[in-house]
Amino acid sequence: MNEETDRLKNLLESYIAREMPLDGPLESQTLFEAMRYTLDAPGKRVRPVLLLLTCKAVGGDENEALPYACAIELIHNYSLIHDDLPAMDNDDMRRGKLTNHKVFGEAMAILAGDGLLSAAFEIMHRDYLKYLDDSEALARRLRAGYAIASGCGIDGMVAGQVADIEAEGTDVSIELLDYIHMKKTAALIRAAVSAGAYLGGANEQAALAFTKYGENLGLAFQITDDILDYGSEEGKASYPAVQGLGVSCARLEELTERAVRAAESAEGTNKQYVDLLTEMALSLSKRVK
């Protein structure tokens, strides 16, 4: 990340700290501790930063987009907590720390994930209520909220997780693998970019271009993860396991190029922020975890 993306990330961190305090009522103190335990783990905040960058790219106000950037980060962290549970991926470590259920127990980890998901929608709905007398501003926010809801729901992230679980131990076709990761990973990244475009008031052509950017970036993001994890995860459906390492690397490059072209094709945008989006796509494809 560069100076501007760091600034946006820090703005987000301050917003999260205000919206998700370290402590709550005495009766639910453990719940707040469990939610903040995962939220405070080191992370790049990729999805909310993408949302903020896209909003800025189409001329929007970063402060108006913060509730939605926060919401998508809470949703992402809820998914991490639930993914790590013994009934799912059964992981002991996440981002260099013990996973949530290892610290707080399975029941509290489930509730912490539920709390983060619920809080995400509370934050967005609270913002809607401020614009009941401004139909245009409210419409932008509703479109952004719907993009986020559909990205994490039964036709998005949850659908991908179900397909991934059911595919374990089977011979997975490239078509099924694409379905899994377009839903499980790319859907929420696409949602972040689309939400940012809607909040910034993008025209139809720009909104569609950024949606294509998000889809290609999302799938490239997963392929990069699969390449980095190749050989360390037994029985998991991955691109190198299905297509081989060479083909996977070539497809990663192709998807990244498509993402860059899509962002650059958006009309009526701020070049500085489009350049930052293209730089982010390139850097994410070359990350080393």
**Binning pLDDT at 50, 70 and 90, where does residue 24 land?**
confident
Per-residue pLDDT at 215: 97
Distance CA 122, CA 139 (A): 17
In the chain, count of helices (H) and strands (E)?
14, 2
- Give pLDDT tens digits for 160-171: 999 999 998 889
The predicted structure's pLDDT at residue 236:
75
Percent of the chain's residues with pLDDT above 70: 98
Contact 238, 223 (CB under 8 A): no
pLDDT in tens, 48-102: 999 999 999 999 999 999 999 999 999 999 999 999 999 999 999 998 899 999 9
Given pLDDT bands bounded at 50, 70 and 90, which one contains residue 109? very high
Q: What's the mean pLDDT when you consider all of the chain? A: 95
Say if residue 111's pLDDT is above 70. yes
CB-based contacts of 88, cutoff 8 Å, min separation 6 = 82, 161, 165
pTM given for the model? 0.96
Q: What is the pLDDT of residue 202?
A: 98
Measured distance CA(226)–CA(191) in Å, rounded: 21
What confidence score (pLDDT) does residue 168 get?
A: 87
Q: How confident is the model at residue 235 (pLDDT cuts 50, 70, 90)?
A: low
pLDDT tens across 201-217, in order?
A: 999 999 999 999 999 99
- Rounded to whole angstroms, the Cα distance separating 266 from 194 reads 12
Q: What are the structural domains of the chain?
A: 3-285 (1.10.600.10)
